[in-house]
Chain A
Amino acid sequence: MFRNTYDSDNTVFSPQGRLHQVEYALEAVKQGSAAVGLRSKTHAILLALKRSTGELASYQQKMYRIDDHIGIAIAGLTSDARVLSNFMRQQAMAERMIYNRPIPANRLVSSIADKAQVNTQEYGRRPYGVGFLVIGFDKTGPHLYEFSPSGNSYEYFAMSIGARSQSAKTYLEKNFESFADCSLEELITHGLHALRETLQQDKELSIKNTSIGILGPGGAHETGITAQGNFRILEDDKIDVYLQSMVPKEVEAPTVTVPPPAAGDDDVQMGDN
């Protein structure tokens, strides 16, 4: 009932203690197509589903390289993503110029989180309408972070954002304990399976609509990767070998729905013993 009166001003709390503008910004992220991130002991990877407006159109870019050791996948307003990724690139380059070292990934994620927070507390400004999955490499190994327009950031073993990302999360939750010791190829296969869960009924992953971002030493199907494993984005034909590694989706048997027990019905349900 109160939502409408408290939701147009960024600087006004609702009686429930919520900032509706920020929550609407999170909705924009949920509208973007899915992105999945996961990591092992040696690698961190991002997988994203690219959207296109139609058969004739190109597919929207979902991944950006920030520095040799940091890459991001986006979900939400692409224009906001460009601006924020540009800022991240400036920060990364400034760190190299001023301190002669690659920027620690958690510090970079904190800097955009702080930047995004400003837009949730200043009158007249709107929150950023994009969320990121950020993968980074430092002395302690690979890392994965989520950045959201609320200004929150958090580190994860595996995560997904965007449309129908809950289905991907379910797959990741089931399997994440095995990720740590996966090879790069196994990790990518897991990521593709997770991403596939977010697809609508008649769609499938293809070389056209899938992007893979990788941090870590070169895999079996890669050539010319540096020893530190600089961030690279794989698209088009390069993806095919990984798509082939997926387990084919099972053809769904027609579902037999068991009618739920009627409320207040004390009959004993006869089931399998």
Chain B
Amino acid sequence: MAQTRSFNPYTENGGTILAISGQDFSVIAGDTRQSEGYSIQTRYAPKVFRLTDRAVLAVNGFAADGNMFVKKVKQRLEWYKHAHSKDMPLKAIARLIQTMLYAKRFFPYYVYNILGGIEEDGTGAVYSFDPVGSYEREACRAAGAAQSLVQPFLDNQIYFKNQVAAPGTTHPAHLPLPDVLSIVIDSFTSATERHIEVGDGLEVYIVLAKGRDLQDFEAIRARNVHLTQELTVTEDGERIFVMRLDLKKD
């Protein structure tokens, strides 16, 4: 009887990520559960990372590849800063990610990337990638274990698909920040209910364009003061805030 031995270089670590862009902001979120099969490896493993003051990258799929990929992207951004004395613009980071992913076309990073942040013209942006670098700018995208639960919800609530506006009105092109945050949180609480690989905790990164009025954000922050932290240092550039919320642990 022949014995076949094999080594599978990849595994699925579960979890879900989501990003939604607004007129002058971008929200990038991910749950913090890391699993393998029916086991939970850890209840807190971040999947969303700050790259620059205006770019945030969420990675989902195979955690080892995801974590390493983020480190390599950060190194490339550091070289750019050395050469040009400034941060890389968002659309350039998106293109860079494509070339880095395609460079391993024949032994890919098993990672679904979502890049969110503020473009050079001050608009909120979301870029989503497949494991070998195919990418596109969108208004919103969900990826990971609960993608099939969340993306249809976003299609309805963000793109207003299969919805007709009230007579005499049109659907808004962009949603305000409080609405977007509610949609993000509801997406994750609902995904947690019905998908075993989603839960434990939620990290929401909010990237705000330079000079944007912060009143709507301050109202949200006031309700969640102990859960919110600022990552940016100055007040005169883009601002990045992180909100950490609990999700059900079962």
Q: How would you classify the secondary structure of chain A's contact residues: helix, strand, loop or mixed?
A: mixed
A65-B82, A89-B82 known; A226+B233 contact, CB < 8 A = yes
Chain B minimum-CB-distance residue to A65 = B82
- State in angstroms the CA–CA spacing of A64 and B82 once bound together: 8
Q: Does A180 contact B (CB under 8 A)?
A: no
B77 to chain A, nearest CB (A): 11
Q: Does A97 contact B (CB under 8 A)?
A: yes
- State in angstroms the CA–CA spacing of A64 and B78 once bound together: 13
By the criterion CB–CB under 8 Å, are A97 and B71 in contact?
A: yes
A65-B82, A89-B82 known; A224+B236 contact, CB < 8 A = yes
Residue in A64, A97, A223 whose beta carbon sits within 8 Å of that of B234 in the complex: A223
B49 to chain A, nearest CB (A): 15
Chain A minimum-CB-distance residue to B82 = A89
- State in angstroms the CA–CA spacing of A93 and B234 once bound together: 25
By the criterion CB–CB under 8 Å, are B234 and A224 in contact?
A: yes
Interface size class of B (residues with CB under 8 A): 10 to 19
By the criterion CB–CB under 8 Å, are A225 and B75 in contact?
A: no
Residue in B79, B233, B237 whose beta carbon sits within 8 Å of that of A225 in the complex: B233
By the criterion CB–CB under 8 Å, are A224 and B75 in contact?
A: no
Q: B236 to chain A: which residues have CB within 8 Å?
A: 223-224
Q: Render B72-103 as a binary contact track against A, CB cut-off 8 A, 1 for contact.
A: 00010011011000000000000000000000
- State in angstroms the CA–CA spacing of A64 and B83 once bound together: 10
Q: A93 to chain B: which residues have CB within 8 Å?
A: 75, 78
Q: B234 to chain A: which residues have CB within 8 Å?
A: 223-224
Q: A65 to chain B: which residues have CB within 8 Å?
A: 81-82
A232 to chain B, nearest CB (A): 10
Q: Render B216-236 as a binary contact track against A, CB cut-off 8 A, 1 for contact.
A: 000000000000000001111
B231 to chain A, nearest CB (A): 11
Q: B79 to chain A: which residues have CB within 8 Å?
A: 89
- State in angstroms the CA–CA spacing of A93 and B236 once bound together: 29
Q: B71 to chain A: which residues have CB within 8 Å?
A: 97
A93-B75, A97-B71, A97-B75 known; A224+B82 contact, CB < 8 A = no
B139 to chain A, nearest CB (A): 31
- State in angstroms the CA–CA spacing of A173 and B53 once bound together: 42
- State in angstroms the CA–CA spacing of A93 and B75 once bound together: 7
Chain B minimum-CB-distance residue to A93 = B75
Q: A89 to chain B: which residues have CB within 8 Å?
A: 78-79, 82
Q: Render B175-200 as a binary contact track against A, CB cut-off 8 A, 1 for contact.
A: 00000000000000000000000000
Q: Render A157-181 as a binary contact track against B, CB cut-off 8 A, 1 for contact.
A: 0000000000000000000000000
- State in angstroms the CA–CA spacing of A83 and B75 once bound together: 18
Q: B81 to chain A: which residues have CB within 8 Å?
A: 65
Chain A minimum-CB-distance residue to B81 = A65
Q: B75 to chain A: which residues have CB within 8 Å?
A: 93, 97
- State in angstroms the CA–CA spacing of A64 and B237 once bound together: 24
Chain B minimum-CB-distance residue to A225 = B233
- State in angstroms the CA–CA spacing of A119 and B108 once bound together: 41
B235 to chain A, nearest CB (A): 8
Cβ-closest 5 pairs across A and B: A224-B234, A226-B233, A224-B233, A93-B75, A89-B82
Q: Measuring CB to CB, which residues of chain B are less than 8 angstroms from any residue of chain A?
A: 71, 75, 78-79, 81-82, 233-237
Sample 19 A-B pairs with CB under 8 A, ordered by A number. Answer: A64-B82, A65-B81, A65-B82, A89-B78, A89-B79, A89-B82, A93-B75, A93-B78, A97-B71, A97-B75, A223-B234, A223-B236, A224-B233, A224-B234, A224-B235, A224-B236, A224-B237, A225-B233, A226-B233
